Structure 1
Amino acid sequence: MCKSLCAMYVKVLAIFPDLEAARPRSTSGIQALCALHIALEKTKNVLQHCAIVVNFIWYAITGDSVVLKFEKARCALEDSLRRVEDIVPQAIGGQIAEILVELGRIEFSLDPVEKQIGDEIIALLQQGRNFSSSNDNKA
């Protein structure tokens, strides 16, 4: 997941100076660039979080949440790129179109084994909590 989103982040970041140089002067153009900048920041934060978290157990437990964060980052990039695509020169618009196609092909998902392990860990944690609660009630 990290590698595919990172590759798209790098591609968008590479054309960002060209987008700024196109200098869209309209209010909607400026808003579109700002939205893209915010989407890039959110994507960077998701990627940094992914790089920091190396604890397999934590990842297995929070995997669904991580996938959702990746999906949100991708959607933000797609939405903001679509807004910018219409206000830049055709050459840059073509690059954006290629990136949008690649973004659309990415599918974020957990490895089935990771998902199963996460589900089992969560079930064990819940059993432990239920056991603890029943012991507290007996005391």
Structure 2
Amino acid sequence: MGTDDAELVELVTNLGSFKVHNLMCTEFLKLVNRISSIFPEIEAARPRCSSGIQALCLLNRAIDKAKSLLQYCSESSKLYLALTGDVIVSRCQRSRSLLEQSLLQIQNNVPVALAVEGATFILDPYEEEAGKVVKELLHVGESASDSQESSEIKALQLAASRLHITSSKAILIEKRSIRKLLEKAGDNDSTKGRF
């Protein structure tokens, strides 16, 4: 049921460098790693009552959700992550709360010390600025004059600069990330239509 050491090492290796929100994601990763490192002890204590087993399952799901969020932040488009920065902060806060809630529920059922220091999540000012620029561009609309098009190009260049999308390799990686997001969104739309 729990996360093993190999899975934890894989998570750290795969998520060692986050594309955007590096400080926030690294802080969240530290929290997830601390909880994951004590999970085998919690699991070994084998809470016997149904509430203890439910709490253990809830903690395991909370760890999995946190890992999914971290993976999403490591694989997604830089521009999209900058655009949705406030949503990422909110998701990190909700995930942290779920982890803390799970630990509190299980604390009475196992003899393991479960104190976990809280993590704070804030956006990097440069990434926040890049997100605002991209949002403004999206709100401008389709009717673009030559001067407006020129200012849009400058705004995109500013966002790309702030997000370090300046080399041809970085641009290629960003294009691939956006393509994956679009494919995933298309898959979700077709799935919704079938039900």
What TM-score bracket applies, with the shorter chain setting the length? 0.7 to 0.9
- Per the TM alignment, residue 31 of structure 1 is displaced from its structure 2 partner at its CA by 0.7
Match for 1:127: what amino acid? Answer: V
TM-score (norm 2): 0.59
**Does 2:84 correspond to 1:62?**
yes
**Does 2:125 correspond to 1:112?**
yes
**Does 2:69 correspond to 1:46?**
yes
Q: Distance in 1 between matches of 2:128 and 2:25?
A: 17
Indicate the structure whose relative CO is greater, using CA pairs within 8 Å and at least 6 residues apart: 1
Residue 136 of structure 1 corresponds to which residue in structure 2? none
Match for 1:49: what amino acid? Answer: Y
Q: 1:22 aligns with which of 41, 45, 57?
A: 45
Q: Distance in 2 between matches of 1:17 and 1:67?
A: 28
**Does 2:56 correspond to 1:33?**
yes
TM-score (norm 1): 0.81
- Per the TM alignment, residue 5 of structure 1 is displaced from its structure 2 partner at its CA by 1.0
Residue 31 of structure 2 corresponds to which residue in structure 1? 8
Instruction: Specify every segment of 5 or more residues in structure 1 that has no aligned partner in the other structure, as ranges.
Output: 133-139
Match for 2:110: what amino acid? Answer: V
CA deviation string 1:65-91 (max 9, x = no partner): 1111111111110100111112111xx
CA deviation string 1:41-66 (max 9, x = no partner): 1011011111112x332221111111
Instruction: Specify every segment of 5 or more residues in structure 2 that has no aligned partner in the other structure, as ranges.
Output: 1-23, 145-195
- Per the TM alignment, residue 113 of structure 1 is displaced from its structure 2 partner at its CA by 2.1
**Does 2:144 correspond to 1:121?**
no
Instruction: List structure 1 runs of 4+ shifted beyond 6 angstroms.
Output: none
Q: Distance in 2 between matches of 1:65 and 1:28?
A: 32
Q: Distance in 2 between matches of 1:85 and 1:107?
A: 23
Q: Distance in 1 between matches of 2:89 and 2:98?
A: 14
Match for 2:127: what amino acid? Answer: E
Residue 86 of structure 1 corresponds to which residue in structure 2? 108
- Per the TM alignment, residue 128 of structure 1 is displaced from its structure 2 partner at its CA by 2.2
SS in 1 for 2:141: helix
Moved more, 111-120 or 76-85: 111-120
Q: Distance in 2 between matches of 1:31 and 1:8?
A: 22
SS in 2 for 1:24: coil
